[in-house]
Amino acid sequence: MAEHGAHLTAASASDDRPSIFEVVAQDSLMSAVRPALQHVVKVLAESNPGRYGFLWHWFDEIYTLLDLLLQQHFLSRCSASFSENFYGLKRIAVGDNKGLHQLASAGLPKKQHWKSLLLLVLIPYLKTKLEKLVSSLREEDEYSIHPPSSSWKRFYRAFLAAYPFVNMAWEGWFLSQQLCYILGKAQNHSPLLGLAGVRLVRLTAEDIQALEQKLAVGTASQQPAHSIKEQVQSAVKKALGGVALSLSTGLSVGVFFLQFLDWWYSSENQETIKSLTALPTPPPPVHLDYSTGSPLLPKLKTVCPLCRKIRANDTVLSTSGFVFCYRCVYTYVKSHQRCPITGYATELQHLVKLYSPES
Helix (H, G, I), strand (E, B) or coil at 295: coil
Q: What strand order describes the sheet that includes 351-353?
A: 323-325, 314-317, 351-353
Say if residues 312 and 325 touch (Cβ distance below 8 Å).
Answer: yes
H/E stretch holding 200 reads strand 198-202
Q: What is the CA radius of gyration of the chain?
A: 26
Distance separating alpha carbons of residues 246 and 82, to the nearest angstrom: 12
**What Å distances lie between residue 224 and 219, 231, 234, 241, CA to CA?**
13, 8, 9, 17
pTM score: 0.63
Long-range pairs, 183-189, Cβ under 8 A, ≥24 = 183/8, 184/8, 187/94, 189/20, 189/23, 189/24
User: H/E/C letters for each residue in 146-158?
Assistant: CCCCCHHHHHHHH
List, in sequence order, the alpha helices (H) in 143-290: 151-182, 191-196, 205-220, 228-264, 270-277
pLDDT at 342: 82
pLDDT at 12: 45
Beta bridge partners of 198: 93
pLDDT at 284: 57
Distance separating alpha carbons of residues 330 and 346, to the nearest angstrom: 11
Mean pLDDT by 10 residues, the chain (359 residues): 47 68 86 82 84 88 90 87 88 71 79 92 92 81 58 76 90 93 90 91 84 67 55 61 58 59 60 57 54 61 88 88 90 88 85 76
Distance separating alpha carbons of residues 261 and 257, to the nearest angstrom: 6
The torsion angle over the Cα atoms of residues 211, 217, 219 and 224, rounded to 10 degrees, is -140
Show Cβ contacts of residue 244 under 8 Å, excluding neighbours closer than 6 positions. Answer: 69, 70, 72, 73, 74
C-alpha neighbours within 13 Å on the C-beta side of residue 35: 14
Distance separating alpha carbons of residues 321 and 72, to the nearest angstrom: 44
